[in-house]
Amino acid sequence: MPRPLTAELKERRVDACQELLKQYEAGGNGFLGRTVTGDETWVHNHQPGTKKASKEWRHTSSPKQKKFRTQPSARKVMLTLFWDERGVILEHYMPRGNTVTSATYADLLKNHLLRAIKSKRSGCLGTGVLLQHDNAQPHTACSTVATIQDLAFECVPHPLYSPDLATSDFHVFGPLKEAMGGKSFRSDEEVKQAVHKWLRSQPKEFFLEVCMHFQRARTLVWNEMETT
């Protein structure tokens, strides 16, 4: 956790989890089918390999291999990813030099995500899109909230300071960066192509399993808080 949670924040965390579980119990798989998850992450032109990837079998008498501390390269691209249980809906890259603001995020929702949903998930517009994103300032700004209302999307509650419930961070971006570990790319375009290839190579069950992990995490949080 990024900071200790107060009693009030813990209550909000339980309330958010309880509300989502109630919606899931009422809507079942239809609830998961309507949920579109979005989040941002940096992808570096060079991402150091993870400790897990560098493990190797060695004899107890073998000399230890020297390892040098490495850092991600300064060159990087900002990936914004929207997905649901069926797979990727929108893979968007912020132009170099730009940052995610309420204006750019609202524009992304209105002029890119809506178009992608119409093209790939047209049925969702009839049943209603449940948008799941965290509480970053561009996501909660008044202009963003107004845009979400104009699009007739409904936001899925996400409790404050709860990165363990940020589905993309743990179950999508983590494996993505592990796959990118130890690789170097000469340009931003090569980074984008590698990310795109990895996303498209995932089996169709991958994102459905992520959704189920999400529901289990909510259930665990609710149960733990209810018993304390």
Give residue 1's pLDDT.
56
Three-class SS state of 53 = coil
Residue whose C-alpha is closest to residue 6's, from 156, 130, 159: 159
Rounded Cα gap, residues 78 and 96, in angstroms:
8
Burial class of residue 179 in the structure, from the number of CB atoms within 10 Å of its CB (0-12 exposed, 13-18 middle, 19+ buried):
middle
For residue 108 the two structure tokens come to: 């992304």
Give residue 216's pLDDT.
60
For residue 26, pLDDT over 50 is answered with yes
Mean pLDDT confidence for 153-164: 83
Q: Which of 8-17, 49-58, 159-168 has the highest mean pLDDT?
A: 8-17
pLDDT-derived band at 68, boundaries 50, 70, 90: very low
Residue whose C-alpha is closest to residue 147's, from 94, 106, 185: 106
Mean per-residue pLDDT over the chain, rounded: 83
Q: What is the pLDDT of residues 77-132, one digit of tens each?
A: 999 999 998 999 999 999 888 889 999 999 999 999 999 999 999 888 888 999 99
More confident residue, 102 or 66: 102
For residue 52, pLDDT over 60 is answered with no
Dihedral sign of CA atoms 205, 211, 215, 221 in order: positive
Question: Any idea how long the chain is?
Answer: 228
Q: Which of 23-27, 53-57, 205-209 has the lowest mean pLDDT?
A: 53-57
Structural domains for the chain:
29-43+74-226 (3.30.420.10)
Rounded Cα gap, residues 49 and 188, in angstroms:
19
Contact assessment for residue 176 and residue 206, using Cβ atoms and an 8 Å cutoff: no
Dihedral sign of CA atoms 133, 139, 140, 145 in order: negative
Residue 63: count other Cβ atoms within 10 Å of its Cβ: 7
For residue 54, pLDDT over 80 is answered with no
More confident residue, 135 or 209: 135
Give the helix/strand (H/E) hosting 87: strand 87-93
Rounded Cα gap, residues 47 and 190, in angstroms:
13
Percent of the chain's residues with pLDDT above 90: 43
Q: Report CA 108 to chain centroid distance, whole Å.
A: 16
pTM confidence score: 0.81
